[in-house]
Structure 1
Amino acid sequence: MDLHLVQAFVDIVEAGNLAEAGRRRGVTRSQISRQLGQLEEQAGAMLLRRTTRRLEMTDAGQSLYEHGLRILQEVAAAQAEIDSLGKTLRGHVRVSVPTGLGDAFIAPLLLQFAEKHPGISLRVFFANRVTDLIAAEIDVALKVTSEPPLDTVARDVCPIHWQLCASPAYLAGIAPIREPADLAACRFLCPPYTSRRFLLTLGRDTCDGPEREDVDITPYLQSEHFPFLMNAVRQGHGISLLPLYMTWEDVRRGTLVPVLPDWKPKGLGNRLYIFTTANPHLSMATRALISFLRETVAELDVFKER
């Protein structure tokens, strides 16, 4: 069976129609249709049912797609292995990184990786809401969460610490914040929560053991784009709940001041993970990127608790 035709069939299934598959492969619709016909002739079975609206796989098509996909992945992995013997990794990796974290800290690392491995091409997406890696056509995704999805392979990178802080000007204009309950009267800036009000959870260690406080808060300003929230808190719009990696430099310079520093707030995720699909045949290029990010990200000062 011609592997070139098998690849065409896999592309048709993933594209959903002949026209789109042809566009992805750089051929006409008639050419991709002819390739499908040749493969069906070689297989001795109908692989796709053509309806007016879509293509549906037959049982034979489903079987060929699953086995063909694994075969093609093995061939790609073998080629990458051969390339690696010559000390040059080759391939293409599609990677998704969160905004804020990606802009400030991951992007420079990806450029280092690209310079180190010129044979690997990267396609980088900056997004916070990638959940289905297959549908989004993503090979590697970095995400902050406390509960990794069960349908992915999650590789732990490092802990994520959160911080409450505000500008000196904002704090000078309000009553002193001495205990968690005082936060309820403040303008609060934070990432989006599912409801308009939410319970902010804070904890600390005392001589008598761990202590916890919950504060019912109505956010004044919410955004999943952390650079926007950082500008807002710098300009004195309120007290922010942000990851330590976003605030540490401003706190060091004194442009932001920690609020209730003895208390540790609970944020929207306590660890950074690298996600991939449950695929045992990751390419050498993908594995190289994962290894590089796990080694370099965790060593950044911004991820170390202070």
Structure 2
Amino acid sequence: MDLNLIQAFVDIVDAGNLAEAGRRRGVTRSQVSRQLRELEHQAGAQLLRRTTRRLELTEPGHALYQHGVRILQEVASAQAEIDSLGRTLRGHVRVSVPTGLGDAYIAPLLLQFAQKHPGITLRVFFANRVNDLIAAEIDVALKVTSAPPLDHVAREICDIRWQLYAAPQYLARIAPVQVPPDLEGCSFLCPPFPPRQFPLSLYRDGQRVDVALTPTLQSEHFLFLARAVREGHGIGMLPVYIGWEEVRAGHLVPVLPDWRPEGLGNKLFIITTPNLHPSMATRALIGFLREELGKLEVFRDAVK
């Protein structure tokens, strides 16, 4: 089968329709349709069923798509390997990073990597809820979680610690917070959690205390949450990598510093799809991020 036609078929399936596939490939819809018909002729089977709303894979189409993706990955890996022999890494890597961590620390590293490897192009997504890398068309995802997906390859990078923080001016106008139950009288800011009340667990020297708090503000964008805490809206639960700089600048102070809250995710992972032969570009980016994250002061003691 023609490799170019296989690439066109994979693009059609990933795009979901002929028009979008044509846009991504820079050709017309009719050209993509002709390529599909030619591939079906070569395969001797119908690969897609065309309905009024969408395209559906037939059983032969599903098999060809699965093999086609692997074939194209192998070709890309071979080309990258050949390029690396000439000491020039080439390729394209699609990266997903969480918003707060990405804005504060990962974005500068990605720009350093791009400058170091001009032959590698990057497409960077800032997103917190990427779970299916194949569906999202992501090659490498950085994710803070306690349970990485079992059907992906997860490389543990470091522990993620959480802390309660507040602005000095907020603490000056409320009753002292000396033990966990004192939090029940405070405005609480935190990441989104489905129930109305946030079940906060705090740990100290093997002791655990649970308090149920009703958040006054929730956001998964930690820089926004840190700003709200800094402006005195309440006590916020933030990852230490966000609160650390704010404390050093004198904008925030830890609340109940001897107690460690249980956050929404306690480790940082680099996650990829199962692939025995990832591209040289992908391997280079993973290696670079693991090395550079270990140099950052906020992560230095936590990197595995």
Give the alignment's TM-score, normalised by structure 1: 0.94
SS at match of 1:128: coil
Q: How far apart in 1 are the matches of 2:178 and 2:301? A: 22
Query: Any gaps of 5 or more consecutive residues in structure 2?
Result: none
Q: How far apart in 2 are the matches of 1:291 and 1:46? A: 42
Query: Cα distance, 1:65 vs. partner?
Result: 2.1
Distance of aligned partners of 1:248 and 1:49 in 2 relative to their CA distance in 1, 3 Å threshold: closer
Q: How does 1:261-280 map to 2 (within 5 A)?
A: 261-280=257-276
Counterpart residue number, 1:237 = 233
Q: How far apart in 1 are the matches of 2:270 and 2:36? A: 37
Counterpart residue number, 1:21 = 21
Q: How does 1:137-176 map to 2 (within 5 A)?
A: 137-176=137-176
Query: Cα distance, 1:304 vs. partner?
Result: 4.8
Q: How far apart in 1 are the matches of 2:170 and 2:51? A: 63
Give the alignment's TM-score, normalised by structure 2: 0.94
Q: How far apart in 2 are the matches of 1:37 and 1:257? A: 65
Q: How far apart in 1 are the matches of 2:249 and 2:44? A: 71
Q: How far apart in 1 are the matches of 2:45 and 2:199? A: 59
Query: Cα distance, 1:138 vs. partner?
Result: 1.2
SS at match of 2:177: coil
- Check if 1:217 corresponds to 2:213: yes
Counterpart residue number, 1:4 = 4
Match of 1:301 among 288, 297, 300: 297
Q: Deviations over 1:243-269 (max 9, x none)?
A: 111111221232211111111111111
Distance of aligned partners of 1:172 and 1:49 in 2 relative to their CA distance in 1, 3 Å threshold: closer
Query: Cα distance, 1:116 vs. partner?
Result: 0.7
SS at match of 2:93: strand
Counterpart residue number, 1:133 = 133
Query: Cα distance, 1:15 vs. partner?
Result: 2.0
Counterpart residue number, 1:181 = 181
- Check if 1:226 corresponds to 2:225: no
Query: Cα distance, 1:36 vs. partner?
Result: 1.9
Q: How far apart in 1 are the matches of 2:54 and 2:165? A: 53
Query: Cα distance, 1:92 vs. partner?
Result: 0.7
Q: Deviations over 1:150-176 (max 9, x none)?
A: 222111011001111111111111111
Query: Cα distance, 1:303 vs. partner?
Result: 2.3
Counterpart residue number, 1:88 = 88
State how many pairs are aligned.
Answer: 302
Counterpart residue number, 2:122 = 122
Q: Which amino acid aligns with 1:244?
A: V
Distance of aligned partners of 1:271 and 1:3 in 2 relative to their CA distance in 1, 3 Å threshold: same
Counterpart residue number, 1:42 = 42
Counterpart residue number, 1:202 = 202
SS at match of 2:298: helix
RMSD: 1.6
Query: Cα distance, 1:66 vs. partner?
Result: 2.1
Counterpart residue number, 1:113 = 113
Equivalent residues of 1:133, 1:276 under 8 A apart: yes
Query: Any gaps of 5 or more consecutive residues in structure 1?
Result: none
Q: Which amino acid aligns with 2:8?
A: A
Q: How far apart in 1 are the matches of 2:301 and 2:71? A: 45
Equivalent residues of 1:244, 1:303 under 8 A apart: no
Distance of aligned partners of 1:58 and 1:257 in 2 relative to their CA distance in 1, 3 Å threshold: closer
